[in-house]
Amino acid sequence: MTTQDMTVISADGRHAAPDTVLELRHLIDGAWVPSTSGETFDRHAPATGELLSRACKGGAEDTNAAIAAARQAFDDRRWSDLPGSARAKLLTKVADLIDANRARIALYETLESGKPISQAEAEIQGAADIWRYAATLAWNIRGDSQNALGADMLGMVLKEPIGVVSIIAPWNFPFLIVSQKLPIAFAAGCTAVIKPSEMTSATTVILGELLLEAGIPAGVVNIVLGYGDPVGSLMTTHPDVDMVSFTGSTAVGKAIVAATSNTLKKVSLELGGKNPQVIFADADLDQAADAIVFGVYFNAGECCNSGSRIIVQEDVADALNEKVVALSRKVPFGDPLNPKTKVGAIISPEHQAKIDGYVQDAALAGAKVLLGGDALGVAGLSGQFYQPTVIADVSADMAIAREEVFGPVLSVLTFQTFEEAVTLANDAAYGLSAGVWSENVHTCLAFARQVQAGTVWTNTWMDGYPELPFGGVKESGLGRELGPNGIEEFLETKTVQMRIGKTRQMWV
């Protein structure tokens, strides 16, 4: 297949890119500081190869200093003792600042990650909404009471902030995912140390600037730039850290659980997914095909919620494949800075090679590549892009059906009966999300009850709301983000038992 068979957006008509290299420093105890070692590292744009930013490379001393600042800020209660209404006011101010700086944040998000500028702008707007929702949670932290313990006893259940939280964020949604964690932790009264991905550090630094402008007390938020070793490693093992909140690969998540075992920290993990969409013969195939194309190509498939595994009833498999391939040809792939683009660049050459390896292995194993299956050339750009790819005749034992490809690659499996569909959907180590397509509400409800997933969509895909919890089962993670459940992750429960009136003799 040639690139003439699909919609490719060239570098013409793009937004202007900055003509200077962005210098990034750590935020520690309210000040922007260089690394103790003086070392830095560079980030180049995945779409063009151009130098974008030069960041301070954090080491053990920098990480320890950030954790000490967060510890002191929590222990002296400069943040947690504020009324929830005061914390809510600051969170709302941050949301307003995010809105005011949306264009700048989205530009650097696009340049560093390769995602389309229009998608980045929508994500920044969604992030601001989460900060506003977190403000409502700060108003409404409440415990419980027990007044049936007898005439002279009263029991209270308090909800208190867990303490210092290490937040380790990924490269695929750097601003949005930090905003799914940090404002909720702040609403609870926690302090934080953040490590953004070394590939997408800029927007987290911009967020730090906005937090200082909003008036966050020194030490309540700290940002350390750098790599998993030593920064991320110290953030998961340091005894002054009370909780780790991580989004990323399942392999790293398992390593974090092992690393935190010596101190028994609380761990919240949002990990990988191999998310099935099951399409029954009575489904609206046009709507399903549209959602499938969105689900697999959104963010170039570099998304834990990617709908990369389609399980379709045999009677309609050929018809659905035809619709999906036809729509895939129309999706605008190419220059991330062009507002018309819907699918941008792949994050790195190494990741592009990994994606292609899954595709080639599937073809060698007997799967049929209906569309794509190779790198994509984009006029005027020298970065890495991958063609929209649809692979049929996939069997459940193939790696492409079981492992997270994290690219614009759709695997299509087939089934005959409802029971077979559920078995195939659950036949994976992951359990992040799932979808079902049927005009029969009983079919949808039965599937939703039986599928092993933290989120189930019926006749839609990847809708999301701050009010609803998000997270997975099995190897897709631990805990929940967002919704009222999300703030519970950052709270400890304390029981207080009070004797009222004269104290009775306890022993003799």
Catalytic residue among 56, 303, 304, 444: 304
**DSSP character for 466?**
T
> pLDDT at position 337, please?
95
pLDDT of residue 2: 43
Identify the weakest region by mean pLDDT among 28-32, 238-242, 320-324, 498-502.
498-502
| Band of residue 257 on the pLDDT scale cut at 50, 70, 90 | very high
Contacts 24+ apart (CB under 8 A), 442-451: 443/280, 443/282, 443/418, 446/418, 447/278, 447/418, 447/421, 447/422, 450/422, 450/426, 451/276, 451/422, 451/425, 451/426
User: Region 426-434: what's the mean pLDDT?
Assistant: 98
User: What's the rounded Cα separation, in Å, for the pair 321 and 392?
Assistant: 8
| pLDDT per position as a tens digit, 369-390 | 999 999 999 989 999 999 999 9
According to the model, what pLDDT value does residue 14 have?
62
pLDDT at 1: 40
Taking the alpha carbons at both ends of the chain, their separation in whole angstroms is 90
Average pLDDT rounded to a whole number, residues 355-373: 98
What's the pLDDT at 6? 73
List, in sequence order, the alpha helices (H) in 386-430: 399-402, 418-426
Q: pLDDT tens digits, residue range 112-124?
A: 999 999 999 999 9
Rg (CA), the chain: 24
How far apart, in whole angstroms, are the C-alpha atoms of residue 228 and residue 486?
25
Contact predicate 87/132, CB 8 Å: no
Summarised one tens digit per residue, pLDDT across range 325-348 is 999 999 999 999 999 999 999 999
Pick the closest to residue 222 from 93, 345, 74 (CA basis): 74
Amino acid at site 391? I
Cβ 161 vs Cβ 490: under 8 Å: yes
Q: With H, G, I as helix, E, B as strand and everything else as coil, classify residue 496.
A: strand
Report yes or no: 85 and 118 within 8 Å, Cβ to Cβ. no
Residue at token pair 């190779």: 374
| Residue 477 to residue 430: CA distance in whole angstroms | 9
pLDDT at 349: 96
Question: What is d(CA 268, CA 451) in angstroms, rounded to the nearest whole number?
Answer: 22
498 CB contacts (<8 Å, ≥6 apart)?
A: 153, 154, 155, 156
pLDDT above 70: residue 503: no
| The one-letter amino acid at 127 | A
Q: Taking residues 76-90, report their average pLDDT.
A: 98
- Under the banding of pLDDT at 50, 70 and 90, the label for residue 95 is very high
Count the neighbouring beta carbons within 10 Å of the beta carbon of residue 421: 25
pLDDT in tens, 282-341: 999 999 999 999 999 999 999 999 999 999 999 999 999 999 999 999 999 999 999 999
Is 303 tagged catalytic? Answer: no
Domains of the chain (ranges, CATH numbers): 18-271+476-493 (3.40.605.10), 276-458 (3.40.309.10)
Give 500's pLDDT tier (boundaries 50, 70, 90). Answer: confident
**pLDDT value, residue 506:** 72
Q: Catalytic residue among 109, 121, 270, 488, which?
A: 270
Active site residue 61: no
Q: State the Cα–Cα distance between residues 85 and 108, nearest whole angstrom.
A: 32
Summary mean pLDDT of the chain: 96
Q: How much is the pTM? A: 0.96
- Best CA proximity match to 489, nearest among 175, 126, 163: 163
Instruction: Put residue 406 in one of left, alpha, beta given phi > 0 → left and psi -120 to 50 → alpha.
Output: left
- DSSP for 318-376, written as a single string: HHHHHHHHHHHHHS-EE-TTSTT-SB---S-HHHHHHHHHHHHHHHHTT-EEEE--SB-
Q: What angle do CA 430, 432, 436 make, to 5 degrees?
A: 105
pLDDT of residue 7: 84
Give kind and range of the element (H or E) at residue 508: none
pLDDT band at 504, cuts 50/70/90?
A: low
Per-residue model confidence (pLDDT) at position 507: 77
pLDDT of residue 501: 79
Task: Tell me the pLDDT tens digit for each residue of 14-45.
Answer: 666 788 999 999 999 999 999 999 999 999 99
Question: What pLDDT score does 19 carry?
Answer: 81
DSSP annotation of 283: S
List the beta bridge partners of residue 493.
159
What pLDDT does 192 receive? 99
Give the pair of three-digit tokens for residue 367.
Answer: 């799967």
Helices 418-426 & 441-450, crossing angle to 10 degrees? Answer: 40
> For 45, what's the count of Cα atoms within 13 Å in the CB-facing half-sphere?
26
